[in-house]
Structure 1
Amino acid sequence: MKLVPYWEVAPESIEDPEASGVKMRWVISQKDGAENFAMRVVEISPGGHSPLHRHPHEHEVFVLKGKGVLTCEAKESPLIPGDVAFILPDEEHQFRNIGQDKLEFLCLIPVKK
């Protein structure tokens, strides 16, 4: 079992020229013995954004803090704490922080096998 406050997991900056102000905490991953899913806490600074991208796996998102916009297949949807999003495989998507504070969300993805 792993039990730890998520803020004790060191954040990693996303080094992608198409992203700005994004950090990720891998709170549960294959390193912990997770065989099916990984859980990340994504943090986006005010004015920051993830890259506009797509990938062959689905992922699930739960917004914890802040105010943002999710662009998915060119449609923009607001994000506030308590919102959930399900992004299908190969859907083009991007997260943007439009608030004054950090945008923070849980993101679950399948582990690479």
Structure 2
Amino acid sequence: MPVVDPATLPEIAMREGITGKWIASRERGAGGVGVLANTVQPGAGAPLHRHEHEEVILVEAGRIWVEMGGPRLEATPGQCVIIPAGTPHAWGNDGPEPLRVLFVWNSPDPFAPGRSTYLEGAPPAVA
């Protein structure tokens, strides 16, 4: 089992105001899970989309809002949001400081063709 040091990983410009590092992915040797660390600047976020896989968002710093068809949810450091597979959702940072989050999927490649559908906007750059 490889040891991954996020400090040594390349940072990907995923969309305006959002950078990411793949901590666990097929390329890193993961067979059943994907973990993505994102830094999200104030005002940035992801448009409405859904994944084939369940998604867990762990907040490390800042504050995230998440919409899943009901009232807007908010999570702060130490909290997580669980998004069921197939659930349309959007998220973002409307706080005054950068947001640091970990996204976890039960798939090592959640953005592979056919695994995510963007209902608004375009998919992120993932490599």
Q: TM-score range by the shorter chain?
A: 0.7 to 0.9
Aligned residue in 1 for 2:8: 8
Higher strand share: 1
Report the secondary structure of 1:75's partner residue. coil
Aligned to 1:71: 67
How many residue pairs get matched? Answer: 109
Please state if 1:39 is matched with 2:35: yes
Give the match's secondary structure for 1:31.
helix
Give distance in 1, aligned partners of 2:64 and 2:8: 24
Please tell me whether residue 54 in structure 1 is matched to residue 45 in structure 2.
no
Structure 1's consecutive aligned runs of 4 or more residues displaced over 3 angstroms after TM superposition are: none
Percent identity over the alignment is: 24
Equivalence for 2:108 = 111
Q: Deviations over 1:70-105 (max 9, x none)?
A: 111243011210111111111111111011111111
For residues 6-40 of structure 1, the C-alpha deviation after alignment (integer angstroms, 9 at most, x for no partner) is 2321221124xxxx412221011111211100111
Return the letter of the residue paired with 1:111. Answer: P
